[in-house]
């Protein structure tokens, strides 16, 4: 026995009541893993309750579980065979608690799938098997439990073995072993049993010992940038090597910004090293100037990773609120997190428009920005995605396919020929919609609707609302001609800055004179569209969302555009939207179409 070896993680799954806890309890007793304190404490507890000691109690460490009689959450239990140590990740079978099973099973190297000999393959048996495949647990032992309840019948065992074998074959899995058990009596766990004398195959522990350890893949370097630290004037990209290796002097490509970088210095768990391999926590300093940010992926210079902005996932969903077509979620692959819109859902069952808790579906997503991933390499972290809603993981999936549908040049990398030297990234500039018109004409409403429409298309937009800017940035300005001009100038400058960063900007400012609109145009250039949001003075006064028309009519507000200050009806608009006629959604769609 090698004491320093890491334990092999195994997860035990199966339908509720098929005997998982009893199996684990018995395994601990028979391998001598239960420590004196645990056993004594449980015996005392059982005595106090006047009940016999249940093996399952070993796992039901929480009061709430004992009260409800079900196992709630993942738990870790250690034991040893004569060959090596194991850690059992207990995964409960209650269907509501699927997220706990996923949490436990994703760390396991192998699974034991428990099937009740009397009840046969249950609904959850199938579901758990499918989840195991998606989670990447490919080594599986099928244990037909409770053989004592079917008179240790060989024919029953063979029938169930054939049934589970066919079910798993449909998922692309061949079990490492299928064996009969009577966990309550300890039959065929560690020791053989006379009652199962017809069985010639391995015991459960022998079958576990025959499993192979996970082997390191020979995939090329994948090193996600987890964070960037500055120490003594130098910048270090930190992360964990997912696959491959990295050496001082290596020429790497950094995605999605597509920069070449040369490794100058390498820190591995606090020590300067020349090289690091998969699994290592490293910090990398580059010899050339590179822009670094969390979510980037370091790959070899001649890489084969994909930059995708559309992904198809084989996904599972865990949240009580279903995932629906058109939903906006956050998607994470390695350290990259981007906004995503659900384009289609092809569920194994159900309507085809949504996938509910515990469900499986093919999900196609459009991403707000391209990210680097490895579609089809489902065992790699870069081939797996998780889906989040409101800062909570709600599902996950294997990346089956990826595609780049938007123009490839959303960012331009200026590479020096030798891969060194300054490299600048220029994002493709965002677009600017400048909505102008009377107060109450509907500028802000349309601006917000445009932002939402852009969001549905997977693009981030910023709304610059004149009223909001006057609360802060422009709070020093009044409503004189000069102040209004200054208000427009500042707003246009901000819009220009933001659009240069790649953001779409929607401006909603009255901009009453042709001169002011000309000033904004000069600042923004030809990429901006100026849209007159028109409504009759009567309509605006009737809407009067801020009560300004009432105050202006009463004479308590001076310099109010349309009543006591002029509005020059434009000859210079790129488009006119008449909100006397158009509803906000239609108006917003028309505004977007002008781009």
Partner 1 sequence: MSAHLDALEAHSIFILREAFHALERPALLWSLGKDSNVLIWLARKAFLGEIPFPVAHLDTGLEFPEVYAFRARYSTEWGLRLIDNACPPLEETDPSLPPGARIAQRKSLGLAQALERHGFDGLITGIRRDEQATRAKERVFSPRALDGSWLATDQPPEFWDHLVAPRAPGLHVRVHPLLAWTEIDVWRYIARENIPVCPLYFARDGQRFRSLGEQGITLPVASEADTIEAIIAELEATRTPERAGRTMDHESEDAFERLRSGGYL
Catalog residues that contact partner 1 under the rule CB under 8 A. Answer: 3-6, 35-38, 41, 44-45, 48, 61-64, 72-78, 99-100, 102-103, 105-107, 135, 226-227, 229, 231, 236, 238-240, 267, 269-270, 279-281, 283, 294, 318, 332, 381, 384, 386, 388, 390-393, 396
**Nearest distance, CB of residue 459 and partner 1, angstroms:** 24
Nearer to partner 1, 382 or 511 (CB): 382
Smallest gap from Cβ 342 to partner 1, in A, equals 19
Task: Return the number of the residue (377 or 517) whose C-beta is nearest partner 1.
Answer: 377
User: Which residues, in sequence order, are bridge partners of residue 276?
Assistant: 246
Nearest to 243 by CA among 379, 384, 402: 379
Q: How many Cβ atoms are within 10 Å of 294's Cβ, its own excluded? A: 16
Measured CA to CA, the distance from residue 487 to residue 520 in angstroms comes to: 10
Q: Which is nearer to partner 1, 318 or 509 (CB)?
A: 318
Report the run of H or E that residue 267 belongs to, with start and end.
strand 259-268
CB of 283 to partner 1, least distance (A): 6
Least Å from the CB of residue 479 to partner 1: 38
Residues belonging to the chain: 595
Q: How far is the CB of 436 from partner 1 (least distance, A)?
A: 37
| Residue 565 beta carbon to partner 1: minimum distance, rounded to whole angstroms | 43
- The residue among 107 and 186 lying less far from partner 1, judged by its C-beta, is 107
Rounded Cα–Cα distance for residues 288 and 483 (Å): 47
28 neighbors 185 (Cβ within 8 angstroms): no
- In the complex with partner 1, the residue whose CB is nearer, 197 or 279, is 279
Measure the CA–CA gap between 592 and 527, rounded to whole angstroms. Answer: 13
Q: For residue 451, how far is the Cα from the chain centroid?
A: 23
Nearer to partner 1, 105 or 520 (CB): 105
Nearest CB to partner 1, comparing residues 42 and 588: 42
How many other CB atoms are found less than 10 A from the CB of residue 95?
15
* Other C-beta atoms lying within 10 Å of the C-beta of residue 350: 13
- Three-state secondary structure call for residue 275: strand
In the complex, least distance from residue 196 CB atom to partner 1, rounded to whole angstroms? 31
Tell whether omega for the bond before 247 is within 30 degrees of 0, i.e. cis.
Answer: no
E runs forming strands in 384-431: 384-389, 392-403, 411-413, 425-427
Cα distances (Å, whole numbers) of residue 165 to 123, 495, 540: 15, 62, 72
Distance CA 72, CA 99 (A): 11
d(CA 403, CA 175): 34
User: What is the nearest approach in angstroms of partner 1 to the Cβ of residue 353?
Assistant: 24
The half-sphere exposure of 336 on its side-chain side, counting CA atoms within 13 A, is 31
Q: Which is nearer to partner 1, 41 or 324 (CB)?
A: 41
CB of 551 to partner 1, least distance (A): 37
Q: Is 587 helix (H, G, I), strand (E, B) or coil?
A: helix
**Minimum gap (Å) between residue 503 Cβ and partner 1:** 23
Q: Whose structure tokens read 């244990």? A: 143
Tell me whether residue 36 or residue 155 sits nearer to partner 1 (CB atom). Answer: 36
Q: Which is nearer to partner 1, 277 or 473 (CB)?
A: 277
Euclidean distance between CA atoms 472 and 262, whole angstroms: 45
Contact (CB, 8 A) for 133 and 103: no
3-state secondary structure of 399: strand
């Amino acid at each position: 026995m090698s004491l320093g070896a890491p334990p092999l993680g195994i997860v035990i799954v199966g339908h509720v009541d098929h005997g998982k806890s009893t199996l684990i309890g018995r395994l601990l007793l028979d391998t001598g893993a239960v420590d004196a304190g645990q056993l004594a404490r449980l015996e005392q507890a059982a005595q106090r309750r006047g009940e016999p000691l249940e093996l399952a109690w070993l796992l039901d460490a929480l009061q709430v579980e004992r009260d409800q009689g079900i196992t709630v959450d993942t738990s870790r239990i250690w034991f040893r065979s004569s060959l090596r140590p194991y850690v059992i990740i207990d995964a409960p079978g209650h269907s509501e608690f699927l997220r706990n099973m996923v949490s436990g099973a994703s760390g396991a190297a192998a699974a034991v799938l428990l099937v009740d000999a009397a009840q046969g393959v249950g609904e959850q048996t199938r579901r758990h098997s499918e989840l195991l495949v998606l989670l990447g647990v490919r080594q599986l032992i099928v244990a037909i439990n409770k053989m004592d309840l079917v008179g240790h019948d060989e024919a029953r065992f063979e029938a169930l073995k054939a049934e589970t074998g066919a079910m798993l074959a449909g998922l692309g899995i061949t079990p490492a072993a299928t064996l009969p058990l009577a966990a309550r009596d300890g039959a065929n766990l560690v020791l053989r049993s006379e009652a199962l004398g017809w069985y010639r195959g391995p015991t459960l522990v022998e079958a576990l010992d025959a499993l192979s350890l996970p082997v390191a893949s020979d995939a090329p370097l994948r090193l996600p940038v987890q964070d960037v630290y500055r120490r003594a004037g130098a910048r270090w990209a930190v992360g964990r090597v997912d696959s491959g290796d990295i050496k001082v002097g290596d020429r790497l490509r950094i995605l999605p910004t597509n920069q070449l970088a040369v490794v100058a210095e390498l820190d591995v768990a606090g020590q300067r090293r020349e090289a690091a391999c998969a699994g290592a926590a490293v910090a990398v300093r580059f010899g050339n100037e590179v822009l670094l940010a969390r979510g980037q992926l370091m790959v070899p210079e001649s890489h084969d990773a994909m930059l995708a902005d559309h992904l198809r996932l084989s996904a599972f969903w865990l949240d009580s609120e279903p995932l629906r077509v058109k939903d906006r979620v956050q998607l994470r692959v390695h350290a990259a997190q981007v906004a995503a819109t659900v384009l289609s859902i092809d569920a194994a069952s159900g309507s085809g428009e949504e996938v509910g808790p515990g469900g499986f579906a093919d999900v196609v997503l459009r991403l707000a920005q391209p990210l680097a991933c490895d579609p089809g390499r489902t065992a790699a972290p870069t081939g797996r995605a998780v889906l989040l809603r409101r800062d909570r993981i709600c599902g996950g999936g294997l990346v089956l396919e990826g595609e780049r549908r938007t123009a490839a040049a959303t960012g331009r990398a200026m590479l020096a020929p030798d891969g060194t030297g300054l490299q600048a990234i220029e994002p493709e500039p965002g677009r600017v919609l400048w909505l102008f018109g009377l107060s109450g004409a509907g500028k802000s409403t349309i601006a917000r609707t445009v932002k939402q429409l852009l969001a549905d298309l997977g693009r981030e937009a910023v709304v610059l609302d004149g009223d909001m800017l006057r609360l802060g940035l422009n709070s020093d300005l009044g409503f004189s001609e000069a102040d209004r001009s200054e208000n427009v100038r500042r707003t246009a400058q901000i819009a220009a800055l933001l659009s240069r960063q790649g953001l779409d900007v929607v401006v909603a400012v009255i901009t009453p004179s042709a001169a002011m609109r000309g000033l904004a145009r000069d600042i923004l250039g030809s990429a901006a569209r100026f849209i007159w949001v028109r409504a009759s003075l009567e309509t605006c006064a009737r809407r009067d969302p801020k009560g300004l028309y009432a105050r202006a009519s009463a004479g308590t507000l001076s310099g109010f555009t349309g009543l006591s200050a002029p509005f020059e009806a434009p000859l210079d608009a790129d488009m006119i939207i008449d909100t006397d006629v158009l509803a906000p959604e239609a108006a917003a769609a028309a505004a977007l179409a002008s781009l």
